[in-house]
Amino acid sequence: VVVKRPDYANWLNEQKPSMAIETKKNRFDVYVKASMA
């Protein structure tokens, strides 16, 4: 799941994202959940 957030915002549910892509005013937090295959 990719979540677009303001660069100053805290993480969702205080959970650290798997990775984050930062721009000048925004941050894209990427949350990866392992599949149950």
Determine the pLDDT at residue 5.
Answer: 96
How many H helices and E strands in the chain? 0, 3
Determine the pLDDT at residue 36.
Answer: 67
Overall pTM > 0.85: no
- The 10s digit of each residue's pLDDT in 3-36 is 999 999 999 988 999 999 999 999 999 999 887 6
Every domain of the chain and the residues it spans: 1-36
Tokens of 23: 């721009």
